[in-house]
Structure 1
């Protein structure tokens, strides 16, 4: 039986969320916003989800040092030592490296779950069951485990996992391949094939397995730290990490570790899931009305409008006629009106252009 005290969670909350610009801004990105008007931000909802079955003291937040005050305001229960405040953005692999060092010094038998802070889960009871099953699997096996969801549409904005040989554990398969954000035609082929599942970005492993993988697949990270770990207290460890963090490779967990290992497995889950990191993914997950318009916590009157995404500030009214396949989003000093198709690439271009021409006040 898995010991809950050995189960830890690292919530990744350091991204700038530029794909949901202008509502997600550099000084206040999407994970700290009550995007859908539920009364809780995305970070708070993620934290709430895990506190139901993981001890609060075992939950860590990986974020950028610019967002530490936001984390403390929104999660007052989190201890200072459980906030890993990175001085620069270096993607998710260095974030996990630091988290694993911190957690292994607390509990060398730790099983670690890494989770994004910007996902929707539609069945929390099944989610809890699947994650606990995942903890049990990685506690007994020196293997990395991802969580896969059966696709409901050919979504090009998600990553895909191809399953291979079945393991001895129910619903767990060896990973044959990872594919990151395929073209729509390939996404259709993946759905028809039946071997491909959405990559949720949820990842589990025990602390020994993670440490071994980093030594095998990435340039030496924190070698000096590894050799001196017993000499550090919390404060000196944090200072050491911050002094050396800019030297880390800018690489993701998926690319730096999972994609290079032949020891990765996937659990097929059914808790209902959506990545809401882009306007298009929000539209795909929320559109169900007759006219297929998605209005997000906004006051809008629409006529002869189809397939749009609308989000405007509280206290404002939008009256829209004859609009199709468009994103309308306003926040502070920016109004975005953009065709929904290829919006992720367009928004990336606009953000860069705005920052170059007008400065940081608009991003």
Structure 2
């Protein structure tokens, strides 16, 4: 039985800085606004195109910061002006997704939404949409639903979902109960998870009836739920700006995993659909290098930018070239060089996760302007 998608709305939270991709990703131009994967489309645009066949252009909502509104509109000219929600400040995913759910429920009390990050990469859009349709089928039965990614390696960069028994839902034959969420594990633990076949990567995709999501949010973060409902009640009225300015800064800054997903799992109300569509959060330069290497396995050095200005000898890795300088690399395996007008990063793929700590040091340095 195929689920009815007439009331399905897609929400794209387009926030965060992507600090592990500094200096390419900056506060004023985060990674979702870049063509990180070399597909010819930015990550945001790719996400939009992936979702349109599921819900049409009129039923996609983007939640983003005020500073990014202009470029979001430029990259998504089809986006309905009523469907862009601008955050005064970053309050994390509970507030962003909660407000989107409250607005959609007010406009359509039967609305069912799916939240999909603006800065992830999917290899098979067809298989992705198949998984979303199953997720909608499970959500129609009252579940909060997530799509978990079939691991391809024992990664320590992602959280994990432990899948339990099948749920026997007609519109979602592969749906399983979620037994637990697990934070990013050690390598040894990740190896055990992958070999067991019981764990999936947590990709942060959530599908639910808007009213059901708000119900769980109210049970676990009542002040936050009341706040987003108050803002939504004033949305599209002459009170909108006043209410946002008063209420938004008071909302707790907390991820939706902790206010909705994990509590729902403990109640037996969370389902997971295994995803077999190829996924990457392209969260650091090691991931970016891997994505490009898969596309061109013969390249010793992957270049994002002007390849004619990059010369290498007995070196492998990734060079991101955003200047007119010639970059020469010799004798370094798995190097990462990111050259921009005002900042230069040199590291290795093995140390790519440490860029986040480097950014923290820069924030406290005498040159925070480069962030």
TM-score (norm 2): 0.90
Please give the residue correspondences for 1:256-275 in structure 2 after superposition, counting only pairs within 5 Å.
256-261=259-264, 262=267, 263-275=269-281
Aligned residues of 2:37 and 2:288 also touching (Cα < 8 A):
no
CA distance in 2, matches of 1:296, 1:187: 31
CA contact (8 A) 1:313 1:330 kept: yes
The counterpart of 2:313, out of the listed 299, 303, 311, is 303
Matched, 1:333 2:334: no
Q: 1:235 to 1:293 in 2, by over 3 A?
A: farther
Query: d(CA) in 2 for partners of 1:48 and 1:239?
Result: 34
* Cα offset, 1:228, TM superposition: 9.0
CA distance in 2, matches of 1:19, 1:231: 37
**Aligned positions, number:** 360
Unaligned stretches of 5+ in structure 2?
none
Aligned to 2:149: 149
Q: Find the counterpart in structure 2 of residue 281 from structure 1.
A: 287
TM-score scaled by structure 1? 0.92
Alpha-carbon contact 1:305-1:321 (below 8 Å) kept: yes
Determine if the alignment matches structure 1 residue 121 to structure 2 residue 129.
no
Shift of 1:315: 4.6
Any conservation in 2 of the 1:119–1:273 contact (CA below 8 Å)?
Answer: yes
1:185 aligns with 2:216: no
Secondary structure of the corresponding residue to residue 52 of structure 1: helix
1:249 aligns with 2:239: no
Alignment of 1:1-363 (within 5 A): 2-139=3-140, 141-169=141-169, 170-221=173-224, 223=226, 226=229, 233-261=236-264, 262=267, 263-288=269-294, 289=297, 293-299=301-307, 300-306=310-316, 308-313=317-322, 315-344=324-353, 346-363=354-371
Instruction: Note the aligned Cα RMSD (angstroms).
Output: 2.1
Query: How far apart, in 2, do the equivalents of 1:192 and 1:316 lie?
Result: 46
Q: Out of 293-302 and 89-98, give the one that drifted further.
A: 293-302
Specify whether residues 132 and 234 from structure 1 end up closer, same or farther in structure 2 by C-alpha distance, changes over 3 A only: farther
Q: Aligned partners of 2:159 and 2:234: how far apart in 1?
A: 41
Contact 2:293 2:302 in 1 (8 A): yes
